[in-house]
Structure 1
C-alpha cells in the first residue's frame, strides 16, 4: 500500500505504561465532517472531546482555501439531506438553521452532452416528466418506474441499513433476501438501462456513483437511491460553502466544552492492555483517552496509525486487495469581471465527454489517463457573492482520473498538460474566452489528495462502494482490531458523500457507550470553572 509521507520523528513503542486515561476523555483524529459530527455526538453523550487535524481549517475535504479574494471550496458543494444536519444539531440541543443558511437550488444541475442535448434536473415532478418526455417520450413510463425503484432502495438502503451498525455478520445475513429481491447484484447503469432506452437518460440516471467514488458499471444498484434523495429532499447550497457547516460544527463542539486543535497531526493510535489508551502526535505529545475515533481514511488508520499493532482483518495485504475509488483532478480558478458573462451557466453543470462506458473503464479498470474527459463544473458565485471579489467569478472544474495505485501517470509532468486540456473543454463547451479573464489558480491532483488528506493511492473517496465493499464488508464503525477505537468518514459504513459521512457518526454513536455520568458531570463542572 502506498504510504503517505511521514512527519515527525520515528518513535519506538514505550514499555512504560501510559497515564491512565480519563474515562470521559475522547479524541477524534481528523476534523472532516464525519469526525466533527462524531465529536458533536460524543459531546452530547457526556465526553470531553479533543479533535486533532493537520490542516489549518476544519472540514477535511470540506475545507477551503482563500486566495486573491476568492474562496475555493475544496470538496463537496451540495447538501442533499438537510434533515441529517438538523437531527445532528438537535441531538446537541441546538438549531442548525440558526447557525447555517441553506439555499435550495433550482435547477439542481444541468447536464450538457457532446451532441448538444441537455438534461436539466429539478425537484418538480411535473418539470421532470416534461424534461424526460422532451428527450425521449417513449421512456417516460420507464423513468417513473426507475423513481419507484429508487424510493424502495432509499427506504431499505438509507433509512434502514444506512442508519444502523453493520459490524456483525448476522446483520448482513438477515438482509440478504431483501438484497436479492432488490437485485443488488445489478449495477447502477444496468438498472438504469433496464428502465430507459435513450443514452442521454441512461447517463443522467446512472452517473451519481461518481460523486461518491464508484464506477456506475460495477457499483450495486442500491445506489440509485440518490435519485430519490434529490427528489424528496432537494439539493441545497450552504451560504459560505460547506466550510460554513464545518466552522459551525466546531462552534458546537467548543460550546460543549470540547477542543479542536488544528495544524497538529496524529502519528499513532496507542493501546494498553489490549485497549485504546490515546494517541501520540507527530510532535511527540501523548494525549490519553478512553475513546478514540479515527476520521482519517480507514486505510491510513489501519496501515499507518496502527502500524505497531498486529491486525487480523485489516492487514496491509488485505488493504491492497481492496478496490479504491478513483482519483480526482480539480482545478480551482477565479475570473475577473465575468459575473454577468455566460448567463446560461448556472451553479452546477456536468459537461459530458464523447465516451461514457469506455472512459469510466479507462479510469477504474485500466488506470489510463485518457485524452477525453467529462467535467463537473461548480460556479458558486452565481449564488454566493462571498466567494469572489465584486463582479468576479469563482469556479472549480473536477475531472475523475485514475488513482495512484495504477501507476503510469507522473502528475509532476501531467498536471499542467491536463489543466490545459480541461481549459480547452471549458472554452469549447461552457465558458468561451475565460482564459483571458483568469486570475487565481489552484490545482489538486491525486498526489495532493495523498499528501493533504493522507488518502491511500490519492483516492478521492476511500474504498470504492461495490457490493462486496459495502455494509458488513466495509471497515466497521467499531474496530475489530482494537477495543475502544471507532471509525467515522467515507471509508466506513455507510460510506461517502455528505449524508454518508454524517451517517457514519450516527451509527458510531449507537456503538459508543455513554460517558460515566458522575465523571462526566465532574468534567463539566471543571470545564465551567476553567
Structure 2
C-alpha cells in the first residue's frame, strides 16, 4: 500500500484543492474553541491535527483496557454556574454535555506540603488568606499586603477580559495596573515575605512551569483566581471536554481531520492563503489560525523572515521556554486511603527557590541529577471516583509530575523527534528515563508510603514525549518564558494578514482557562464582537438542535478522531 493510498484510507485524500473560510492548525482547546465559534457563525472551518485524536494537552490515553490517563487536564477552575468554561461551552450550545465534579473546595483542593508546614488551599480569596496566616502567623501583615495586591490585580484582569479598556483601567487604578507588568518575585519582595512564605504562596508553580522571578505577577494571580473560584474535574476526564467542542464544530458545518499534519502555512504577498500538508496536498482559506507551537509557527510553518519582520523573527528565535516536565502515570491494585480530593504539591525544602536553583546548579556543574525537590500529585481516581474509564473498582490512578533540566543532552540524545531523532530506543535515553522514574517514585513514597509492590502499570512521559505528540518547543506544555523581554508574549493577531495564533504561548496564559480565553479572543477579533461578554450574558451561537444524540456507548475518544476517521482501526477501548 503506497502513501497516497494510506492517506485515502484515513480520510485526508479528498481535501486537496478545497477551499474553506478558515483553517485551524492543531486541535488543542484554544484551537477548538476558536474553530467552534467561527463554525457557529456560519463559517466553513477545517481543523487539521497531526495526532490520532484531537485535544492537544487535554487528550487522554488508555492502557491495558482498564486505565485511562489524562495528559494535561488535572483540574479546572471557575466551573460554577457563572464560570468561564461553562459560559464558553454554553455559547456553543454544549453546556449540558460536560459535567464538572467539584473537588474539596471547602477543605482544600490543593494541599501544599513542606518540611514544616501543610496548607490546604480552599476556594475563595478570604479563606485562602486565613489559611496562609494560620500557617505563617509571624507574617500575617505581609500576607495581607500580598493578598490585597493580588485581589486588586485579579479584579482588574477580570474587568479587562469582560471588555473594559486597558486605558480606562490604567486611568482609574494606575498603581494596581503597574503590577500587571511586574513579576511574582517582585511582588514577594515588595511584601517582604520570608523564603518559607514565598514557597507557600508560589507552591503551585507547576501550573505554569516557572519560579517567581520567571512568571508575571498578573499571570500567577489570574491562575490562582481561576482556581480560587472553585476547582473542578470534568466527569469522564478531559477528553469529554474536547469531544463537546468537536461535536459543536462538526454539527455547525466544520470538519476535524486527524492524522493530517501541516507542513507549511501558505502566505502570498503578506496574506495567509491556506496550508500545505505533509503529503503535499494544499488546502485554501483566507483565514488561518495556528494552534501549533508559536516558535514552530513563525520559524518553520511560515518560513521566518519570508513572512515576518526581522525583529520579530529574531525575538522568536531567541525565545526561552518554561520548565520541561516529566510525568509518571501510575496505576495501583489498591485504593489510596486517607487522601483528600485534592492535588498535592510536595516540596522537600521550605525554600523552594533555593532548592530549585541548587539542583539546577549541581547538574550544570557536575552533570549530576539525583534529587527531585518538588513533586505534584494528581489523583484521577479521587477526582472522578467511580468512573469505569479511570480504573477498575478498588484500584487507583494518579499522575506524578516534576521539572527537569532543559535540553536534549540531559536525555542522552542530540535532537528531538521533530528533527527525526529515533530517541525511544536509545540506550542513554532509556537509562536516564529509568533513573528519573525511580527518583520520582522515591519522592512519591515519602508522601504516600510504600506503593511499588502494588503497581499494576507505570509509564513515564518525558519532554521528548511531549514534543513528539504536540510539537512543543523544549518539550514544555507551558510555552515561552521570554519573548524579547521577561513575561512578554504575542497577541492572537499576527503581522501576517489573516493569520492568528492561539495556545499556551499567547498572552492569555497557560492552562485550559487561558487557552480557551485565547480561542475566544481570536473568534471575537474575526467576528468583530465581544464574545466573552456575550456568552457570559447568555448568548448562544449556532443551533444546538443540530447536535448529535449520544448513545449509551458514546466514546469521547472516538468522537475526538473526527467523523472522517470514526471507522479507522486502532482505537483503544476500556473493558
- TM-score range (shorter-chain normalised) is 0.7 to 0.9
1:355-366 matches, cutoff 5 A: 355-361=351-357
**Aligned residue pair count:** 487
Residue equivalent to 2:454? 437
User: Displacement, 1:422?
Assistant: 0.7
CA contact (8 A) 1:164 1:507 kept: no
Residue equivalent to 1:489? 503
Go from structure 1 to structure 2 and tell me whether the alpha carbon gap of 1:453 and 1:468 turns closer, same or farther (over 3 Å shift). same
User: Displacement, 1:138?
Assistant: 3.1
Say whether 1:397 aligns with 2:397. no
Structure 1: how far apart are the matches of 2:113 and 2:377?
11
User: Displacement, 1:146?
Assistant: 2.3
Structure 2: how far apart are the matches of 1:142 and 1:207?
17
RMSD: 3.4
CA contact (8 A) 1:196 1:202 kept: no
1:235 counterpart (227, 231, 236): 231
Structure 1: how far apart are the matches of 2:527 and 2:295?
25
SS at the partner of 1:217? Answer: helix
1:21-420 matches, cutoff 5 A: 22=19, 25-68=21-64, 69-82=66-79, 83-92=83-92, 94-96=93-95, 98-106=96-104, 107-115=108-116, 117-123=117-123, 128=128, 130-160=130-160, 178=174, 182-184=178-180, 186-195=182-191, 197=193, 199-226=195-222, 229-230=225-226, 233-307=229-303, 309-313=306-310, 317-336=314-333, 338-339=334-335, 341-344=336-339, 346-354=341-349, 355-361=351-357, 368=364, 369=369, 371-384=371-384, 385-386=386-387, 387-404=390-407, 407-410=409-412, 411-420=429-438
Query: Where does structure 1 lack aligned partners over 5 or more consecutive residues?
Result: 1-6, 9-17, 516-520, 526-530
User: Displacement, 1:37?
Assistant: 0.7
Residue equivalent to 1:12? none
Structure 2: how far apart are the matches of 1:129 and 1:494?
26
1:459-470 matches, cutoff 5 A: 459-464=476-481, 468-470=485-487
CA contact (8 A) 1:490 1:497 kept: yes
User: Displacement, 1:194?
Assistant: 4.2
Structure 2: how far apart are the matches of 1:467 and 1:304?
19
User: Displacement, 1:365?
Assistant: 8.3
SS at the partner of 2:134? Answer: helix
CA contact (8 A) 2:250 2:256 kept: yes
CA contact (8 A) 2:17 2:282 kept: no
SS at the partner of 1:464? Answer: strand
| More divergent stretch after superposition (408-417 vs 354-363) | 354-363
- CA deviation digits over 1:318-368, x for unaligned, max 9? 3232121110011111111x22x3323544111112251134336788975
Structure 2: how far apart are the matches of 1:19 and 1:67?
35
User: Displacement, 1:313?
Assistant: 4.4
| More divergent stretch after superposition (197-206 vs 492-501) | 197-206
Structure 2: how far apart are the matches of 1:199 and 1:400?
20
Structure 1: how far apart are the matches of 2:146 and 2:235?
32
Structure 1: how far apart are the matches of 2:220 and 2:132?
17
SS at the partner of 1:357? Answer: helix
Structure 1: how far apart are the matches of 2:32 and 2:226?
24
User: Displacement, 1:419?
Assistant: 0.5
- CA deviation digits over 1:240-276, x for unaligned, max 9? 1222111111111111111111122111111234321
User: Displacement, 1:129?
Assistant: 5.2
Go from structure 1 to structure 2 and tell me whether the alpha carbon gap of 1:182 and 1:438 turns closer, same or farther (over 3 Å shift). same
Structure 1: how far apart are the matches of 2:167 and 2:476?
29
User: Displacement, 1:449?
Assistant: 1.6
Deviation beyond 6 Å, 4+ runs, structure 1: 18-21, 163-166, 170-177, 363-367
Structure 1: how far apart are the matches of 2:17 and 2:486?
37
Structure 2: how far apart are the matches of 1:362 and 1:181?
34
TM-score (ref. length: structure 1) = 0.83
CA contact (8 A) 1:220 1:467 kept: no
